[in-house]
Structure 1
Amino acid sequence: MTQSNNVRLGVTLMLMTTLVFAFQDGISRHLAQAYNVYLVVMVRYWFFAAFVIAIACRKAGGLRSASTTTQPVLQGFRSILLALEVCVMVTGFTLLGLVESHAVFACYPLLVAALSGPLLGERVGWRRWSAIAVGFVGVIIILQPGGSVFDPLAAIPLLAAFMFALYGLLTRFAARRDSTATSFFWTGTAGAVTMTLIGIWFWEPMTRVDWAWMGLLCVTGVAGHWLLIRCYEAAEASAVQPFAYFQLVFASAIGITIFGEVIRPNVALGVAIIIIAGLFTLWRERQQR
Structure 2
Amino acid sequence: MIPRAKQNTGLGILLMSATSLVFALQDGISSHLAQEYNVYMVVMIRFWVFALFALALSARQPGGIVAQIRSRHPWVQLTRGLLLIVEVCVMILAFVQLGLIASHAVFVSYPLIVAALSGVVLGESVGWRRWTAIGVGFIGVLIILQPGVAVFSPWAAVPLLAAFMFALYALLTRYVARGDMAGTSFLWTGIVAAVAISPLGLWFWQPMTAGDWGWMGVLCLTGAGAHYMMIKAYEVAEASDVQPFALLQLVFIAILGLTLFDEELKLNVMLGAALVAGAAVFTLWRARLAAKRAATAG
| TM-score of the two chains, using structure 2 as the length reference | 0.95
Compute the displacement of 1:234 (Å): 1.2
1:61 aligns with 2:53: no
Contact map agreement 1:108 1:165 (CA 8 A) in 2 = yes
- 1:112 paired residue number: 114
CA distance in 1, matches of 2:236, 2:154: 41
1:84 and 2:103 matched: no
State the distance in 1 between where 2:151 and 2:11 align. Answer: 41
Asked if 2 retains the 8 angstrom alpha-carbon contact of 1:107 and 1:274, the reply is yes
- 2:284 aligns with 282
Runs in 1 of length 4+ with deviation above 6 angstroms? none
Q: CA deviation at 1:146?
A: 8.0
1:183 aligned onto 2:173: no
Structural mapping, 1:33-52, within 5 Å:
33-52=35-54
In the TM superposition, residue 69 of structure 1 has moved relative to its aligned partner by 1.1
CA displacement at 1:16 relative to structure 2: 0.5
2:42 maps to a residue whose letter is V
Partner residue, 2:2: 2
- Please report how far the alpha carbon of residue 145 of structure 1 lies from its aligned counterpart in structure 2 after TM superposition: 7.0
Cα deviation per residue 1:39-73 (whole Å; 9 max; x = unaligned)?
A: 00000000000000000000000010111112211
1:164 is matched with which residue: 166, 169, 178?
166
Q: Is the 8 A contact 1:142 1:267 kept in 2?
A: yes
> TM-score, length-normalised on structure 1?
0.98
The question of whether the paired residues in 2 share the 8 Å contact of 1:106 and 1:274 is answered with: yes
Map residues 205-216 of structure 1 onto 2, 5 A cutoff.
Answer: 205-216=207-218
**Paired-residue identity, %:** 57
1:246 to 2:248 alignment: yes
Q: Secondary structure of the equivalent of 1:51?
A: helix
For the 8 Å contact 1:148–1:154, the answer to whether it is kept is: no
Q: 2 CA distance for matches of 1:226 and 1:140?
A: 35
How many pairs does the alignment contain? 289
Q: Could you say if the C-alpha distance between residues 58 and 156 of structure 1 is closer, same or farther in structure 2, counting changes exceeding 3 Å?
A: same
Unaligned runs of 5+ in 1: none
1:258 counterpart = 2:260: yes
Find the counterpart in structure 2 of residue 129 from structure 1: 131
Between the aligned partners of 2:150 and 2:285, the Cα distance in structure 1 is 32
- After TM superposition, the structure 1 stretch with the greater mean CA deviation from structure 2, 145-154 or 125-134, is 145-154
Name the SS for the 2:149 alignment partner: helix
| Structure 2 CA distance for partners of 1:99 and 1:277, relative to 1, 3 Å | same
- 2-side partners of 1:175 and 1:231: how far apart? 17
RMSD value, Cα: 1.2
